[in-house]
Structure 1
Amino acid sequence: MTDTLTAPPGVSPDQSSAARVYDYFLGGKDNYEIDRRVARELAAVMPDVAETARVNRHLLTRVCRFLAFQAGVRQYIDCGSGMPTSENVHQIVQRADPTAKVIYVDYDPVVASHGRAMLDENEFTEYVQADFFDPPSILEHPTVQRHLDWGEPIAVLFLLALHHHCDDQREKPAAATKEFIDRLPSGSYVAISHLLDPHDGSEDEQTVQALVDAIHCGSMKNVAARTRKQIRELFHGLELIPSARGRDEGIVPVAEWWPDGPLLGEPTVAQRIVAVGVGKKP
Structure 2
Amino acid sequence: MVHGEKSRTHLIDTNTPSVARMYDALLGGVHNYEVDRKACKELLRIAPSTQLLARNNRAFLRRVVRVLAETHGIRQFLDHGSGLPTQDNVHEVAQELFDDCRVAYVDNDPMVHAHGRTTLEENDNTLVIDADMRDTPKIYAATRQFLDWTQPIAALFVSVLHCLRDTGDDQDPAAMIERVVARLPPGSFIVICQLVSEDPAVRHGVTELMANATGDTWGRVREPHEVRAYFTGLDIVEPGLVDVVDWCPDTPVPPEELRATDWIEWGGVARI
Q: Same fold (TM over 0.5)?
A: yes
Q: SS at the partner of 1:261?
A: coil
Equivalent in the alignment of 1:182: 182
Equivalent in the alignment of 2:236: 240
Inter-partner Cα distance in structure 1 for 2:116 and 2:127: 9
Q: SS at the partner of 2:103?
A: strand
Shift of 1:271: 9.2
Q: So what's the TM-score if we normalise by structure 2?
A: 0.90
Inter-partner Cα distance in structure 2 for 1:271 and 1:112: 32
Give per-residue Cα distances to partners, 1:197-247, cap 9 Å, x unaligned: 33xxxxx4533332222222323632312222221221241100111xxxx
Q: SS at the partner of 2:132?
A: coil
Q: SS at the partner of 1:140?
A: helix
Please list every run of 5 or more consecutive structure 1 residues that lacks an aligned counterpart in the other structure.
1-7, 199-203, 244-248
Equivalent in the alignment of 1:252: 242
Inter-partner Cα distance in structure 2 for 1:192 and 1:271: 20
Q: So what's the TM-score if we normalise by structure 1?
A: 0.86
Equivalent in the alignment of 2:267: 276
Inter-partner Cα distance in structure 1 for 2:182 and 2:71: 24
Q: 2:66 matched to 1:71?
A: no
Q: SS at the partner of 1:276?
A: strand
In structure 2, the CA distance between the partners of 1:104 and 1:186, relative to structure 1 (3 Å rule), is same
- Runs in 1 of length 4+ with deviation above 6 angstroms? none
Inter-partner Cα distance in structure 2 for 1:187 and 1:9: 37
Shift of 1:273: 1.7
Write the mapping of 1:2-21 to structure 2, written as runs, cut at 5 A: 9-21=10-22
Q: Residues 255 and 272 of structure 1 are in contact (CA less than 8 Å); yes or no, is this contact kept in structure 2? A: no
Which of 209, 212, 220 pairs up with 2:207?
212
Inter-partner Cα distance in structure 2 for 1:264 and 1:277: 18
Shift of 1:14: 1.4
Q: SS at the partner of 1:259?
A: coil
Equivalent in the alignment of 1:226: 222
Equivalent in the alignment of 1:5: none
Please list every run of 5 or more consecutive structure 2 residues that lacks an aligned counterpart in the other structure.
1-8
Inter-partner Cα distance in structure 1 for 2:140 and 2:18: 24
The amino acid that maps onto 1:123 is: D
Inter-partner Cα distance in structure 1 for 2:122 and 2:219: 35
Equivalent in the alignment of 2:3: none
